Amino acid sequence: MVFPAGVLPKVAAQWLFTFHRAARKLRRHAFQLYYRNTTTTKPSPVAASPQQGQHATTTVKSSAAVLELDAAAAAATDGTVVFDMHGALLRSTSLFPYFMLVAFEGGSLLRAMLLLCALPLVWALGGERSVAGIRVMAFVAFAGLSTRDMDLVARAVMPKHYMAQLNAAVYERLWLPSKKKVVVTAAPRVMSEWFLKEYMAADAVVGLELRLVTVGRRRYFTGVLDGPEPSKKALKEAIGAEVTMADVGIVSNSNPVDQQLFVPYCKEVYVVSRDSTKSATLPRDKYPKPLIFHDGRLAFLPTPSAMLAFFLFLPLGVILSVIRISIGIVLPYKINFLAGAIFGWMDPVAFFANPAPAYRVEFLGAVPREWTRAAGERTGVEVANWVQRRLGEALGFECTGLTRRDKYMMLAGNDGVVAK
């Protein structure tokens, strides 16, 4: 992990400033203990008081039953709905895999290993959804990371994993019928905002904010969160000034803090149970947008157990790759390849590092005469498109009309042309 010159001093200055503020706060509230009754919750003054001549009441319901889900769908139709991202809009309540994607894809292998080693500390501080746990994961994943690298991860890596975790029941019954969609995430907003607005057509995203430092023309994350939780002011602004409260709030039952954030700003709050989301997988053909462009080194969702197995197998995989490639070099062989293929020299290393590498070769038939340039009087473009379509069908892909420029605009935000 290499940081450009000048980044570390500014990051250290931000840390010292944050620690100074925390020390002043501790001194001001020294040794004062606050006890919260976990069985009863006092009604929020915002929810209990009338607003602009209207009597605002909030009810909390459960969407575990089909009848309650229908009631939530009726209330959400053509209304303003606030969704809790992790546990309601997504089936999983865990935040660790998405921080790991940022650390691994945007950072390095060392950063990902440090995040995995920090997981016991996160659990000791209250878990992945606790304020302290989120601060630790955000610091390890983002400290010294440039905003450009995070933007590339948000565009090219995160959508695939977010789409695979979408809750089909919430998406089809509540997300699609609603008129205005506001999403609240317990993670930093930069991790999911691009996906929610580009793929899901969300109107607003409310989440944690990260502090930045500027070095030259580039900006870097300090890893320090600006506030312990999503801002209530930002949520109010996202709902809009034309309405006093959102019609429906959809939350998860895994984190009571999210429910306390939603209640003052929603007329009705529905709680999605974890049992109702286990089998609610959204089929690929029902995705909001086709998942065409994806760029990432991890083919699986990096859960704690999966990443532990990955790092434990990595040394053995390197040894297996060296042995298998050495055997292949010793044996007689003959191969021809294009000059551009030399840039993929790491592909065989990664392939032979698998426990049981295997290739499946399928020979396609000859091009029909009516699709040739001589007998069929086809143009070269038509023949090439026919061959590409046949290759796509054999590999399980679907041909599109997108071009190389579209790919760069989607993944990198530019047309792929570097100005001199």
Q: Per-domain residue ranges for the chain?
A: 7-19+44-276, 310-411
Mean pLDDT of 245-270: 77
Distance CA 269, CA 252 (A): 10
Please state, in angstroms and as integers, the Cα–Cα distance from residue 203 to each residue in 37, 82, 95, 196, 349, following that order: 35, 10, 22, 9, 44
pLDDT, one tens digit per residue, over 30-61 is 333 222 323 333 334 433 443 443 444 455 55
pLDDT at residue 406 greater than cutoff 80 = no
Q: How is residue 344 written in tokens?
A: 């993929």
Please state, in angstroms and as integers, the Cα–Cα distance from residue 61 to each residue in 66, 114, 118, 416, following that order: 12, 40, 36, 50
pLDDT at residue 368 greater than cutoff 70 = yes
Q: pLDDT value at position 54?
A: 42
Pairing of strands 180-188, 204-208: parallel
Between 338 and 232, whose confidence is greater?
Answer: 232
Please state, in angstroms and as integers, the Cα–Cα distance from residue 325 to each residue in 225, 319, 344, following that order: 46, 10, 15
196-203, long-range: CB < 8 A, 24+ apart = 196/85, 198/159, 198/289, 199/159, 199/162, 199/163, 199/287, 199/288, 199/289, 200/175, 200/288, 201/288, 203/238
Distance CA 345, CA 353 (A): 14
Q: pLDDT value at position 395?
A: 85
Please state, in angstroms and as integers, the Cα–Cα distance from residue 20 to each residue in 12, 138, 249, following that order: 12, 20, 37
pLDDT at residue 16 greater than cutoff 70 = no
Torsion on CA atoms 279, 284, 285, 287, rounded to nearest 10: 90
Q: How is residue 240 written in tokens?
A: 């809009």
Side-chain half-sphere CA neighbours of 188 within 13 A: 30
Comparing 53-67, 91-105, 151-165, the range with the smallest average pLDDT is 53-67
Q: Tell me, what amino acid is at 89?
A: L
CA end-to-end span of the chain = 29
Q: Tell me, what amino acid is at 7?
A: V
Cα–chain center distance at 198? 13
Distance CA 185, CA 230 (A): 8
Q: How is residue 266 written in tokens?
A: 């929603």
What pTM value is reported for the model?
Answer: 0.76
- CATH architecture of the domain 7-19+44-276 equals 3-Layer(aba) Sandwich (3.40)
Output the average pLDDT for the chain: 78
Who's near 372: CB < 8 A, 6+ residues apart? Answer: 378, 383
pLDDT, one tens digit per residue, over 120-131 is 999 999 888 888
Cα–chain center distance at 149? 14
- The sheet carrying 180-188 orders its strands as 59-62, 266-272, 246-252, 80-84, 180-188, 204-208
172-176, long-range: CB < 8 A, 24+ apart = 172/282, 172/286, 173/69, 173/70, 173/72, 173/73, 174/72, 174/73, 174/76, 174/81, 174/83, 174/248, 174/250, 175/81, 175/83, 175/89, 175/200
Give the start-end residues of each E strand in 134-263.
Answer: 180-188, 204-208, 210-215, 218-225, 246-252
Q: pLDDT value at position 271?
A: 83
Band of residue 103 on the pLDDT scale cut at 50, 70, 90? very high
Distance CA 221, CA 14 (A): 10
Q: pLDDT value at position 142?
A: 95
Band of residue 66 on the pLDDT scale cut at 50, 70, 90? very low
Alpha helix (H) residue ranges in 35-130: 45-48, 66-76, 96-101, 109-117, 119-124
Partnered with residue 272 across adjacent β-strands are 252
Q: Are 84 and 277 in contact (CB under 8 A)?
A: no
pLDDT, one tens digit per residue, over 187-201 is 999 999 999 999 999
- Under DSSP, the state recorded for 267 is E
Partnered with residue 182 across adjacent β-strands are 82, 204
